[in-house]
Amino acid sequence: MGKINQPSTQIKLTNVSVVRMKKGKKRFEIACYQNKVQDWRSGVEKDLDEVLQIHQVFLNVSKGQVAPHDLLQKSFGTSDLDKIILVILKKGEIQLSGKERSQHMAQLQKEVLNIISTKCVNPKTKKRYPPTMIEKALKELKYNMTNARNAKTKALEAIRLLVEKQIIPISRAQMKLRIMVKNKKFMKGEKDVTPMLGTIQSKDNIEGDLEIVCLIEPECYKELIEMIKKMDGSVEVIDMAVIDDSASAI
């Protein structure tokens, strides 16, 4: 009986993305085409043949070590490859190659810096900072760009740090809103709402309906919405981040 590491039982694969899952003390892997796993998980790709390089479960893809049926049965409660592959594909961890990891980190960093650039301003000039200047400030703060779930979460975390430390004069850009509410209902809660409205650009009373266009701090947005909802009013976002784009801050 041949051993599993003999050439007849080895499968060599190249340009592979490995999805790995641990069951008990054993590690199981499947070999997929690069960039296809996320497409499948998001529903963009539905054909498994376009995702899997080979319809097989491995103990080690790089060494070509195929998982024996009895071990699959013991670990997964079945030796049905289709069922096991789907489990690993859904719940396993994607193992990136060194090159893929570098590309992923470079893309993530670019996205984070762009998000910060679009959401923040120099509070004096109301102009945005270019990503290069934000990157320099974060490096000075020795901010770790790795271990991020997604670019938005990482960017918001970085913004909090930049605003706190003020390596450069920076603040969140204000949001521009249009509020529509019955004048009578607004008057009842005006004392609570007005401090949150920031800069009121216009205030018009049209046949009992009040229209307010204002600039607010982003952190007030959720609370303000709740208040206006209780008044049976509505809030429309005109601009998520009010920035003077005539030039960048320097």
- Give the pLDDT confidence score for residue 7 in this predicted structure: 41
- Give the pLDDT confidence score for residue 233 in this predicted structure: 92
DSSP letters for 7-52: GGG-----SEEEEEEEETTEEEEEEEETTHHHHHHTTS---HHHHB
- Give the pLDDT confidence score for residue 15 in this predicted structure: 64
Please, what CATH class does the domain formed by 7-95 belong to?
alpha beta
CATH architecture of 98-172: Orthogonal Bundle (1.10)
pLDDT by residue, tens only, the chain of 250 residues: 343 444 444 555 656 789 999 998 899 999 998 778 888 888 888 898 999 999 999 999 888 899 999 999 999 999 999 999 999 999 998 887 667 677 778 888 899 999 999 999 998 888 999 999 999 999 999 998 776 667 888 999 999 999 999 999 999 999 999 999 998 888 888 888 888 888 899 999 888 889 999 999 888 899 999 999 999 999 999 988 887 665 455 5
In contact, 190 and 166? CB cutoff 8 Å: no
- Give the pLDDT confidence score for residue 149 in this predicted structure: 65
Please work out, in degrees rounded to the nearest 5, the angle formed at the alpha carbon of residue 116 by the alpha carbons of 115 and 120: 125
CATH number of the 175-239 domain: 3.30.70.120
- Give the pLDDT confidence score for residue 6 in this predicted structure: 40
What is the domain partition of the chain in residue ranges? 7-95, 98-172, 175-239
